[in-house]
């Protein structure tokens, strides 16, 4: 495989202990975003329920007897209506926030190659703080739920959580060598995100039940503010050498262009030419920056086929997971479970802890015996099995068994990131991860829309259909991973 995928082994800057603050930043950010996501979905659900059925007792989770109803009962029909309305609202929200996130991530990641990861990350977390702050005000003042869609758009103007992750993974690539060290660090960065999501799941239900949705959202604001402060103060940049090199190269290129103009024009025309040149450069820079995120898959090279296979596998791996947690919340709120916010929080934290903490903790051991693509295959099998079990869950016990089967389910995504990173030059890491972030956002949009439509239209027939769709995506990713494996060994 080495002749097909030469490793790019030179880190751009020497690793220091302070660089670990990138994990702290993403930990705070994942804590905030997951807490925000869990609370806003349940807030909208309860708001819709109270407005549509103000006198109904079907949404009082303290009385579990209301779950023991048949499909023709009034209580069941009310729950189904609120489920469908909430799913539609969440689908519209996902569509609205995806557009700015795609545009920002495709440009911001590549710009971080030029101006540094720290500046790009600061822009990202600042917009996230603004969006969640407006949401908090909206909850306090009981704004119309459609306004929260606008706040979600503002939240994602800087790229959202996927944009932050892409910058974080590029940051790690700057300070690590290609191969297993980078795979391990990328996976550990995923672990910090998993830790944040686990803690959010554990505490969200208690905060919601004891203090309400406003204070839960306010906690998210403080967590994002903490992430901003970490970026501003202790976090060092990782592109000092490359930034200097890029700056010098740009200056030399500008001087050569200016000297060429001097030979063809007089002094009076030169100022106009330079102005026009600057306008043209500014107009094309953004397009060029966005294009750089995807040229790996279209530019003719020996590694193009590998990029395409890995990129397609990454997309399928994301399709098999993204949007699933929001479906699970609605799934658990419905019969026969009718879970409270606390129980939902426990399930979410157990799911994240099993897949992101236990699974990622095993990565070092797995790397001793298996290649990265084999680990990805095992991960896809784990995810498919857990999704099938979840689809047919009929009581609390079977649903709580799902995280145990999903213990390796998250590993496909970081393995594909690591495989693609190790064949990419240091000065293109930001562009690579920006492209992957755009893919994640597009996949998140597709999964949230398509799977929610499936969930809305099958909830009365077979409520677990959506999870079978997630399992099918994992099976397809296994097929591509086997193709990659054959390509590697050939």
Range ranked top by mean pLDDT from 41-50, 97-106, 259-268:
41-50
The number of residues making up the chain comes to: 490
401: in domain: yes
Report how many domains make up the chain. Answer: 1
Q: Which domain holds residue 31?
A: 17-54+72-238+301-489
The predicted model scores a pTM of 0.68
How confident is the prediction for the chain on average, in pLDDT? Answer: 80
pLDDT of residue 247: 45
233: in domain: yes
333: in domain: yes
Confidence band for 219, pLDDT divided at 50, 70 and 90: very high
What average pLDDT does the segment 259-263 reach?
Answer: 41
Confidence band for 392, pLDDT divided at 50, 70 and 90: very high
In this structure, how many other beta carbons lie within 10 angstroms of the beta carbon of residue 56? 16
pLDDT of residue 405: 92
78: in domain: yes
**The pLDDT of residue 110 is above 80:** no
pLDDT of residue 290: 67
Q: How far is CA 439 from the centre of its chain?
A: 10
Of 300-309, 319-328, 350-359, 389-398, the least confident: 350-359
If you ran DSSP here, which 8-state letter would residue 238 be given?
Answer: S
* Tens digit of each residue's pLDDT (9 = 90 or more) over 431-484: 888 888 888 888 878 887 888 889 888 887 888 999 999 999 999 999 999 999
* Tens digit of each residue's pLDDT (9 = 90 or more) over 304-337: 989 999 999 999 999 998 878 778 888 888 778 8
Core vs surface per residue 420-456: b (16+ CB within 10 A) or e: bbbbbebbbbbbbbbbbbbbbbbbbbbbbbebbebbb
* Tens digit of each residue's pLDDT (9 = 90 or more) over 3-20: 444 444 555 556 677 888
CA atoms of 16 and 21, how far apart (whole Å): 10
Confidence band for 136, pLDDT divided at 50, 70 and 90: very high
What share of the chain has pLDDT > 90, as a percent?
Answer: 29
**The pLDDT of residue 156 is above 80:** yes
345: in domain: yes
11: in domain: no
**The pLDDT of residue 356 is above 80:** no
CA distances 158 to 110, 223, 471, Å, are 13, 17, 32
pLDDT of residue 121: 92
379: in domain: yes
247: in domain: no
In this structure, how many other beta carbons lie within 10 angstroms of the beta carbon of residue 83? 22
Assign residue 376 the CATH number of its domain: 1.20.1250.20
**The pLDDT of residue 94 is above 60:** yes
């Amino acid at each position: 495989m080495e002749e097909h995928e030469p490793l790019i082994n030179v880190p751009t800057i020497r690793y220091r202990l302070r660089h670990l603050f990138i994990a702290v930043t993403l930990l705070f950010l994942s804590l905030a975003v997951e807490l925000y996501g869990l609370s806003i979905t349940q807030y909208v659900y309860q708001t819709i329920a109270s407005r549509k059925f103000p006198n109904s007792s079907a949404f009082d989770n303290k009385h579990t007897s209301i779950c023991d109803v048949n499909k023709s009962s009034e209580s069941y029909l009310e729950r189904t209506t609120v489920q469908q309305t909430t799913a539609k609202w969440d689908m519209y929200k996902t569509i609205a926030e995806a557009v700015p996130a795609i545009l920002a991530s495709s440009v911001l990641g590549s710009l971080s190659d030029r101006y540094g990861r720290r500046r790009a990350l600061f822009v990202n977390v600042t917009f996230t703080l603004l969006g969640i702050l407006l949401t908090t005000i909206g909850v306090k003042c009981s704004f119309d739920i459609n306004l929260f869609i606008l706040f979600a758009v503002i939240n994602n103007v800087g790229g959202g959580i996927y944009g932050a992750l892409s910058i974080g993974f590029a940051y790690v690539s700057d300070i690590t060598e290609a191969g297993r060290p980078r795979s391990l660090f990328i996976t550990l960065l995923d672990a910090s995100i998993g830790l944040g999501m686990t803690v959010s799941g554990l505490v969200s239900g208690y905060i919601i039940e004891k203090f309400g949705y406003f204070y839960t959202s306010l906690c998210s604001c403080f967590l994002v503010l903490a992430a901003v402060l970490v970026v501003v103060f202790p976090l060092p940049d990782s592109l000092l050498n490359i930034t200097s090199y890029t700056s010098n190269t740009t200056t030399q290129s500008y001087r050569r262009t200016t000297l060429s103009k001097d030979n063809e024009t007089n002094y009076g025309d030169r100022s106009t030419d330079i102005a026009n040149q600057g306008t043209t450069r500014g107009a094309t820079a953004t397009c060029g920056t966005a294009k750089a995120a995807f040229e790996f898959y279209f530019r003719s090279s020996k590694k193009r086929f590998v990029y395409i296979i890995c990129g397609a596998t990454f997309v399928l791996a994301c399709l098999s997971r993204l949007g699933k947690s929001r479906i699970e919340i609605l799934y658990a709120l419905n019969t026969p479970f009718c879970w409270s916010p606390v129980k939902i929080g426990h399930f979410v934290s157990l799911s994240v802890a099993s897949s992101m903490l236990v699974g990622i903790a095993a990565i070092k051991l797995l790397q001793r015996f298996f290649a990265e693509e084999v680990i990805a295959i095992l991960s896809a099998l784990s995810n498919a099995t857990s999704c099938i079990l979840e689809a047919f869950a009929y009581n609390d016990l079977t649903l709580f068994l799902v995280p145990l089967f999903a213990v390796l389910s998250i590993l496909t995504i970081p393995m594909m990131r690591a495989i693609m990173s190790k064949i990419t030059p240091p000065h293109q890491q930001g562009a690579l991860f920006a492209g992957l972030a755009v893919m994640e956002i597009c996949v998140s949009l597709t999964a949230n829309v398509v799977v929610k439509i499936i969930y809305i239209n099958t909830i009365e027939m077979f409520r677990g259909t959506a999870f079978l769709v997630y399992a099918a995506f994992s099976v397809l990713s296994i097929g591509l991973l086997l193709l990659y494996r054959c390509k590697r060994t050939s």
